[in-house]
Every structure is written in C-alpha cells, then in structure tokens.
A and B are shown apart, each in its own frame.
Chain A
Amino acid sequence: MLRRSFLKVGLAGLAAPGLILRAQATEQPRPGSPFIVTYFDVPGIKGSRDVTDAGDGTLWVCGQRNGTLGRFDPRTSQIKVISLGEGAAPHGVVRGPDGAAWVTEGGQNAIARIDDKSHEVRLFPLPAGRERANLNTPVFDKKGILWFSGQNGIIGRLDPNSGKMEVFDAPRGAGPYGMTRTPSGEIWFASLAGNYIARVDTETAAFTVVDPPTEGQGARRVWSDSKNRIWVSEWNSGQVSSYDTESGSWKGWKLPGDKPRTYSVYVDDADKVWLTDFAANAILRFDPLTEGFHSFPSDRAGANVRQMDGRSGEAWGGESGTNRLVRIQTVKPA
C-alpha cells in the first residue's frame, strides 16, 4: 500500500512557545571513579523516555506520559516543553539531517517533526488501515529517508521532502521495536515478540531475518558500533548479544545479577556498550575488550531507563519512572 499523507498542524495550538522551566541537578559523587553521574529533574516532562542530542548542546526528551517533547539545556538547567497535541504519547526521537527532531508519536499514530528553531509541530499520520501501529523507534538512512518501527507489526518509511509514506508488514507480525543504522548504511531493527533482528533493504523494503542463538530471547533494542556490529538488548534472556554483519557471527553475554532484564542498548563513539537492566534498576557499561560490566544503580527505585543515547564523553538516558534525566560522563585521564 502506498499512500501520501501530510498534515500541517495549526500553529496556534501546537507551535506556541513552549513553557520554559528550570531543572534541578543532583550530582552523585563517586570518589576515584572515572565517571560522573548527574541526575536532572525535568519539570513539565512526565514519563521522560527516549532522548537524543539536539546538536547544539541541548537534548531532546520525550514526555510519553503527558504528550510533550522537551528541549533540555544542561548548561543552564533550563527546559523548554513543547506540547505535541491532544492524546500525544511520544516514544522515540531522532535528529534529522534538517536539524529538526523527528518523533514516533504513538498517541496520534503519526510521525511528528518538531522544528529546531521555531518548535513548530508537523504531523505525518499513518495511512488508513494502519491504526494503533504502536510506533516505536525512528532512524534516518543515508539518503535522508526516515524509517520507523511499530510494535503492532509494521515497518514504515517517510520521505521528509515529499511527505510520501509507505508502511510494510513486518515478518512474524507484532514485535518491531528498536532500530539502528550501521556506518556502512544498513538499517536494522529488533522484534521483541518475534525474537529476531532483521536488515531492511532500503530500496525494496525487503527484510532479511536473522535469529539470535538464544531461543525466545526477546530482542528489544539494537545499536550499531563503528565496526558494523549490531548490539542487541535481550529482554527475556537478560543478555546482551552482538551480531557481526560482515562475518555473520554472534557473541553473547549474560548481564550480572539475578534474573537480569536487559531493556536498552546504546553504543558510544568509543564502542563502549551502555545497557539498562530493569531488574537491577541500573545502567551498565560493558567493555567489549575486557568483557567487564560497570554498574550505575539509580539512587531512586523504579528508574526504568528505556533508552539511551549520547555524545562524545556523555551517555544520557531518561528515567521514565522518576521523570528525570541521567547523564554519565566519562572523565578522560589527565
């Protein structure tokens, strides 16, 4: 099915200047540690979920529980809160080639573009017949096409220039969750219910399914490292695994502790792997070279960091259960 769908939301309602609030930061001292952990309250954001670097020192954060997108500046502790509309429940956010924030806006079953200068909100609704797609993660390919996943069994693509949107049935039905782009330009996604990862042919939209070695592992999120290896957070098995797209080989590691639940994965620019374990209420840093884990338990119960992203020297996550952001800085040796 090929449909063109584009809706410009009235500026009066949604592009009104966002509420600016001041956040409060709490630094967690770790004497002698090469890491600095800082928590930021983000007033006006409820259910702080996915985050991404906005490119100018600020960060975008989805407020899934109150239908908002926040733009947070850790230098000033100010946050601008942008309403995404009635019934909004944003899940994922990525910075586009145009500098704007592109959001999988599940509540309105649309892709939302939020201009980085004016904060104008534009919606690109999914076509009829694709209601309640349960939109999840957006990612841009090298040609500037936005690919997105929907847990109710869809993968879609949107041309931001023309507004042309196509939606495809995913293999094995419900489940598409995290998505990533490799340095070589491939697009991959994970299926939580389908228990697989898959490569998307960005020309034909054909899928190549790859089954991880652990049966029923619950592949939730994926992130590529610099060597085109896909790192997978396995919710059911409590493992992190990696798939080498060049050799076709797998490696896997169980997270420490009793019955870990691996929710998210993010790989930083030094190829260190950041994970979240809901059972331990912690962020973990995994070093593929030493195969060691470093744990950062939250200072509050039920933190539930569902996604991480970052920039050089900084890993960021949204504590969806505490309405905070967390930043972990890696201190360079003197």
Chain B
Amino acid sequence: MKKSRKVTAAAPRSAEQSTHALLALGQGHAAAGRWREATAAYKELLKLEDRPAWRLELAAAYAGRARELAGKGMPKESLTLWENRALVAPDLPLELDHVALLLRLGQVQAVLDLHARAERRLDAATLAALRSHLAAWYLAGDPTLAAGLPPDDQIREHGTAAAAALAAYCRGDDLALREALATLPFRSPYRDLALILKALQRAWEAADQDPAGDPGAAAALLARVGDDSGFAPLRRACALALGPSATLTVRLAEAGDHSRRFALTLVGWGDERQALWEEMRRVTGPGPAALLRLLQRRRALLGEDWARRQALRLLVPGFPKSAALITEGGGRRLSAPERLLVAAWRTEDSRNPWEEMEAWDAYARHLIAAGPGPQGSDDALRIALVLRRVESHREMLAQATPSRDSDSPYRALAESLALSLEYDPDDRDTYERLVHYHLRGGEIKTARVLLDQGLKRFPKDLGLLTAALDAALAGDAFKKAARYAREILALDPINTGARERLVQAHLAHARKQIRAARPDLARKELDQAAEWDQDGRRRDQRDLLAGLLDLSIDEALGRTALSNQVAALGSGLSATLALGLETVAIGRPAAWALKAVGLGKVKVPDQADLAAFLARLRTHLEGGEALAGELQRLFDKPLSGAAKWPLTLAESESACDTLRRAGLTLARRTFAEAALKRWPDTPVFVLHQFESCRTGARYYPRPRDMQQLEDAWNRAREAGDERTAHRIGEVIDRYESAGSFSGSPGGFFGGAFDDDDAYDEAGPVPGQFAVPPEDAFRALIEIMGIDQLLKLAGIDAKTRAELKKRERQIGHERIIDEVLALMREEMSDIGRLPAPGQSPGLPLPGAGPAPAPAGSKGGRRGKPAAPAPEPPDDDPPEQFELF
C-alpha cells in the first residue's frame, strides 16, 4: 500500500481504543466530507482487524480525498489516492473520475488497460461514459489511444465521421457538418459531441437570420450531456456562453482558461478584447485606480483624447485628492481647465447650488479668457452651455421669482443665462425660461427686451409668442396682446387658450378706452372681442361693458340695456357681482351702475343665487384679480345671511375658501360657524373660523383658541386630511413663533396666558411687542397708510408709485402682504423685521446661518418646533424706532 504524503492522522491512536469507536469516528468524518481524517481512522481500524467491509469504507474515503485533491489542482496527489483505492479494494469497479485523471495526466495506456480489464464488469451506462472519455481523447488526436484500440472499435470507426463533423463546424461548413453528424448512429461514443455541435448551431449559427438565436433549444440539447461524459468539459464551456451578455463575465469568473476563451470566442469577443479583459482580471479588479492604469497603458489603442476624458471622469468622486491617481497611473498632471472641469463635475452632487454655480462660473471665465471665438463657433457654444449648466441641471428658475437681493442665486442664474445668449443667441429655450422668470416678478421691460431678441430669431415660435402675449397683458399693452394672440391663432387655429386670451385682451382694452373716455374705440374693441368669442363664454362681460358704455354716454339708453342684461342674469346677487366687477374695472364706483339699475341695496341671495354668485366670484379670482374693497363692503353682510342655506360639506368648504380668497371675512366666519354647527369640530371649518376671527385682530389669540386649532390639527391628521393639517400647522407655527419672541415658553405674554380673563383685561405689558409682529405691521400700515410707511422705510418714490398702481389691481389686503414681503427684503441688512413664522431678532434667510431647531414640543407634529426662544433682550428692537 502506497502512503499518501502529509497524512496526519486525526484519528485516535490509543491502543485501548475500540474498533467500534474507530469505526464510528471514520464514518463520522466520511459523512462530514473530512476525507483525510476518515482515511486515517479507517487505516487505524484495519491495523486492528482487516475486514472486507472496512476496506470498502477506506476505499470510499480514498476516492473522496482523491476528488478533493483533484479539485484543488493536485492531480498527481489525487492519482496516488486512486491507486491506493485500487490496492485496498481491487474488485471495486472503475471510477470515471480516476479515468479522467489518468487521461489528463497523459497515462492513456493505463486507461486502455483499465478499460480492457473492467469492460465486462461495468454496467452499460458507466461503460458508455468511459468510452466517451476515450472517444474525446481519440478525437483530440492522441496517437497512443488510436494504437491501443482494435480497428473495429466504434471509437475508431465513428471517429472519422466525428472528426469530419468537428472540422466542418470549425471551418463554417454547415452542410458538411450536417452530413457528418447524420452518419453517426444514436449509440455512438460520439453521441454527446453530436448533441453539443447541434446546440452550437442552434444557439449561434442562426445569427444571420435571428441575432438572438435559440438559446433555449441549445440549452436543452446541452442538458442531455451528462457530467460524467468525456465531452462534459466542452459542454460546460458552451453553457457558459449561453445566457445574458450582461452577466457573461460573472459566469466566467470561476472558469478555466480554455473554457473562458472558448465561451468568449463563441459570443464574439475579439482577441484584443479578450486580452484586455484578462489583463484586468490579473490586477485587483475594475476599481477606479486599476481602470485608470489600464486607460493609461492602453491609451494608444483607446485613443488619447478618449482615454484622457474617461480618466478625468474616474477622478470625480474623490476630487481634488484623487487628482494624484492620474499621475500615479502614469498620466500627465491635470491642466488648469481639466482641474476646473472636474471640480465643477464634483459640485453637481452638492446640495448647495452656490458651490455648483461658482465652479461652473470659474470654468466659464476660463473659457472666455481663452477666447470665445465668433458667435456660433464651438468655443462660443461651449461657453454658452457652461453658463447655462446649473439651470439645465437644477431647473431652479422654473418656479422662481426675481429677487432684488444681490445675493439671490436666482438672480445670479438669470444673469448667467442672459450672458449665455451673447455667445449663443439661437437657444430659444433660454429666451422662454428667462422671459417667464422676469414676468413672474413683474419685470416686464426686461422680459420685452428678451422677447424682441427671441422673436427676431424664432418669429413663428408658439412658446415665445405666448410669452409675448403674457408680457403684453401684464403691461396693459392690450393692442399688442391682441396682435400676438392673432399670430398664435394663425399658426395654431385651435389654440383655445390663445383665443380666450385674445378675447380678454380686447375686453381689457375696451375697459381702458372707456376709462380714457374713448367710447368709439371701446366699441371697436368690443366688436372685435365678439368676433373672437365664438363660443360666447364672455358674452355676459361684453354685454355688460356695452351697457356701461351706453350708460356713460346716454343714461336712459344705458339703464335700459343694463337692466335687460341684469334681468337676463337673474337680477340677484350673482348679477350684482357681474355688474359690480365690470363697473369697478372701468374705473367707476360700483354704486354708480348698480343704482342705475335698481340694485343699490343688496339682498340676501337664495340658495341658487348663492351658488351662482360663488361660481362667478371663483372665476373672477382665478383670473388673478382681487375683489375691490367697495365690493367687499357691499357683499360681506348680505352674504353672511346666506350661511343659513343647507349646503353640503363640500359646498361649505368651497364657499369658505372662495370667501377667504375674496377677503369677505365676515361672510367667511358666518359660513364657517354655520358649518361647524352642522359638522362640529370639522378641522377645515375650525381653521376658517379661527383665521376669519383673526383678520384685523390686534392681539395674540387666546390660548383656548390655539388649543382648539391644535385639536383640529390632530383630528385632521387622524382623518388623513394632510392638506388641512398642513394649513393648520402653518397657522399654529406662525403664532407660536411670534409668541416665542420674548423667550418665555408661553409666548410673549408669558404667564398672562395662564389666565384668559387677566389677559383680556390687562392687555399687553407696556413697552413690549403686544401682538404678533406681522399683525403689528399690518396695524401700522392701516393707521399710517402704505405710502407713509414706505417713505419712513426709505423706499424710493418710483417703487412706491408702482405699489400704488398694484394696489389698484390686486386690492388693499394683498398689497399689504406684498409690502411686508418687500420690507423684509429691503430691511434684510437690519435683520429685525420678521418673516411670517419667524421671530424678530432672528437672522433673515441669507443674513446668516439658520437657527438650530429647538427640541420638538412633545413631538406634537413630528417635526422640530419653532426656533428656540432667544434670551430676553433689554434693548428695544431697532425697527420700532423707525415708526
């Protein structure tokens, strides 16, 4: 018996050890696949007593260990164990793995001897498998094998056809391949080869007709080749090539050299590609550093520019530290523009747009300094693209409004876009984007300049024409607006939006002419509006305007016309609103026309009239117009009387919302209270009631009101009404942060809130800010007037004039909101005027870092509570001295 090397018996060596214990030990190791230890145990056992059954167990352990060593790439050691097995149990049948190993080691004659000795003792399947191994070797051209087999052996007889089939496949002669395969009988030792060649044809040879081939059919054919076949290595190599190309390299990770090359060749990898891939396999893996080195080494093959650009991209994640990698990989140092470009790429992950803007700006400045070339040149286009990069990447201007703040990122972005047009004036999207941005901020002149430039280049562009229409309407240039609308309709006759806006433009122009006492021109505009108002959607407005025009010229004629029109509209509150809106729009008091038609005294509407009134009011508000103060005063009280009508919950909610937007505070409160009687504690009505009570209020809300609001917030959250919960949350935050101004937990009045009555009676502590700052400024504006307040705040005359004009357009309440916003902006350097929801004395946005959020108030809404109260400040806030 030959001794295998390095056998260290893990089995017990004690003389007293029983055979029983050794047997159990050996079997335990064998069951666990610990063949080496099992072998040692059985050998000890056989020393104690030589039994045939134990020899068989030792033989099995040798076989297991032999396979283990073969798998580890130790064929010679493995063969020793196979030989030991044969010596321990000479009568055992031949194992195919032993045969395969012998063949791999070139011991063909030994295999032939084994074959000759074991042929009669093997079952048919094992014999067929053994012969397939011999067939594979015969086909591979082994001369010893050919000489060792009788001439009439099927391996030799069929070998000629099998070799012909294989040669035909390799040279691409499919006809010859089919003919050769047809001569091989079903039970030929080359049957597995035939299956494999047919699979190869199915999977790839049909590629001319069908690039995907039929991998399913091919896989089925390959599956018929057993693992014990002599053709199994060939089958495994073919199977590796089947399957998705995306996972090919993963499938090949554990394959041997021949199998990899075979599979890669089958799927179309060229020699260069295979060599590169093998090169990468030999290094640590496809990490950035390894790829960088590969790019550098193979730059001649890959192209210098391409390899360099890809190398730069690999530097982005760790830049600037990663810049060293490129020189470590053998590349040249980064040039200045390369460094700027990679730095700009790096900032695109940043959440801070300023970083990105500054980085791209630096790159743009470099390109400009290098010489932009003429307009339209690639260099000029590159500069334009770089100047637009942040906007095209982040799309920040899409919803932004122009700011006067010189540090505003929107302003900087808009400037970059405008500059880009100097280098590339043919980018229509940039015109449109900039125009809309400026229009949102009322910067009509800037928008017009851009539109003129854009329309010169793109005169038929619907987007730009629509923007021009918007700009004209925003600037009250109705004649121009009508011209643009006509151009749009000429290009797109079914553009209902443009048609509607054209009608509106003519109506607006007619109002302007009536205000200017030009009835002839107004009449002309009305006729043109009628011409375009084909579906009659604006008929009521047209007729009312015509009636008002008559009334301004001939009272009797006008009264008749308007009376007929008002009667056609139902003579109710809705008709009164329609006439009132048009009258105010032509610059006359509503009372002038309403009295003329006998609607001077407004009555409580019935339910149908109420619905019509609210619908008309909603349409008016959706057009961006506010309800004039005169009309607010006219309708607020009679509408309150209509709260008694049995509206549905949805109707009540819609009514409250419309009344809120129209500034009809009393009516909103009455409707909210009526709704709360029908649907007690409904959060949205609690909110409407609270807000309507707060409008114009001078003092901080009572704790019980705040508590009701907070309860409503909880109910809204529980009911899944996130929208209402959000709205209520905002209101609570606004008052809470205002209340935390003094730094006391209970708000500015501290302990005063502990006792409602005490608060109500005592009022605010003298010298302290007794109301939410926002409300305080509102009160100041009411008392002093907007103009006086703005003067004191140092706002220039031109801006004040614009604001006055805007007040006429949008109403008193909304202009106060805008003035407060403007003052916040103008006084940001002082940093004391609080934004809504912000405590005075805290920095304004942009004036410094945001305050750290305080701990949540018992986690009430799952978000940080209002900013932490500032320590009490003995000095009075600076802005109060201004007034």
Report if A and B associate in a common complex: no
Chain A residues with CB under 8 Å of chain B are none
